[in-house]
Homo-oligomer: A and B are copies of this chain.
Amino acid sequence: MIDKTVATVAEAIADIHDGATVMIGGFGTAGMPSELIDALIAQGARELTIVNNNAGNGDVGLALLLEAKRVRKIICSFPRQTDSWHFDALYRKGEIELELVPQGNLAERIRAAGAGIGAFYTPTGYGTLLAEGKETREIDGRQYVLEHPIRADFALVKALAGDRWGNLVYRKTARNFGPIMASAARCTIAQVQRIVPLGALDPEAVVTPGIFVHRVVEVVVEAANAGTAPAPGTAT
C-alpha cells in the first residue's frame, strides 16, 4: 500500500544532507512551508543551496534559516525587501552567494527540470546584465537567451490538503511555486493543513498529482495563525 504520510515535520526532513539543493515554495510568506523550515533549522543541515523567489522575510521561516548560517547560496528573483534584513546582512558581509534570476526564468527553469527539458530559449533578460555571458540566439526575428533547468535534491512545499498518494491542492495565491518545485526535486515534501482520505480530492481539481510528491505531513494551524501577516508594501 502506498502511504506517503509521515507523522512529524522532523521525520519528513530528517535526511536532508549537508550541501543539498533545497527548493522552498512560497512567494514571500504566502505558501512558505514555515514548519518544515523550522524543522530543517533544528535538524542542522549546512551548506545548503536554496531556491526560492525571495530571500526571507522578517524573522520567520527562510529568514531564520539564513540567520542560522545554513545557506551557502541562494537562487532567487527578489532578495531585497523591506524586511529581508537577515539576507541583507549576510550578503553585505559576503557570507552568502546570490544567483539572481528573473522571476519568469526562475519559474520556467524549475518547470524545465521537472519536465525533462534540456534547455530553452527565453526572451526574458536578453540584452541585460542578467544575461551576460549566456548564449543567445535570434529566432524568427526575436532575440532569446539560453537558460538551463534548476534541479533540486529536495523540495519543501506548503499545500492546503493532501492524501496518502501525495495528491495536493493549494489555497489561492499560496499555490505560486509549489506545483513546479514539486516536479523538480528528487524528493518532494509537502506540509498540508489536512490529510484527507484517498478519493476526497476532486480528480479534476488536483493541482499536483501524487507522482511528484514523496512525503506528506499534516501541520495543524491555529485559525488565527493560518498564515503570517504579510508585510504590506514590500515589493515582488
Contact = CB atoms under 8 A, between A and B. Distances in A.
A119 B120 contact: yes
A137 B121 CA distance: 14
A205 interface: yes
A120 B121 CA distance: 6
Copies held by the complex: 2
A169 interface: yes
A229 interface: no
A222 interface: no
A139 B149 CA distance: 11
Contacts of A118: 120-123, 137, 139-140, 142, 144
Interface in A137-154: 137, 139-140, 142, 144, 148
A232 interface: no
A204 B204 contact: no
A171 B202 CA distance: 12
A68 interface: no
User: What range describes how many residues of A lie at the interface?
Assistant: 20 to 34
Contacts of A130: none
Interface in A146-171: 148, 169-171
Contacts of A117: 108, 120-122
A119 to B, nearest CB: 5
Nearest to A169: B204
A116 interface: yes
27 contacts: A108-B115, A108-B117, A112-B120, A116-B122, A116-B123, A117-B121, A117-B122, A118-B120, A118-B121, A118-B122, A118-B123, A118-B137, A118-B140, A118-B142, A118-B144, A119-B120, A119-B121, A119-B139, A119-B144, A120-B121, A139-B148, A169-B204, A171-B204, A172-B204, A202-B205, A204-B205, A204-B207
Given A108-B117, A116-B122, 15 more contacts: A108-B115, A112-B120, A116-B123, A117-B120, A117-B121, A118-B123, A118-B137, A118-B140, A119-B137, A139-B148, A169-B204, A172-B204, A204-B205, A204-B207, A205-B205
Interface of A: 108, 112, 115-123, 137, 139-140, 142, 144, 148, 169-172, 202, 204-205, 207
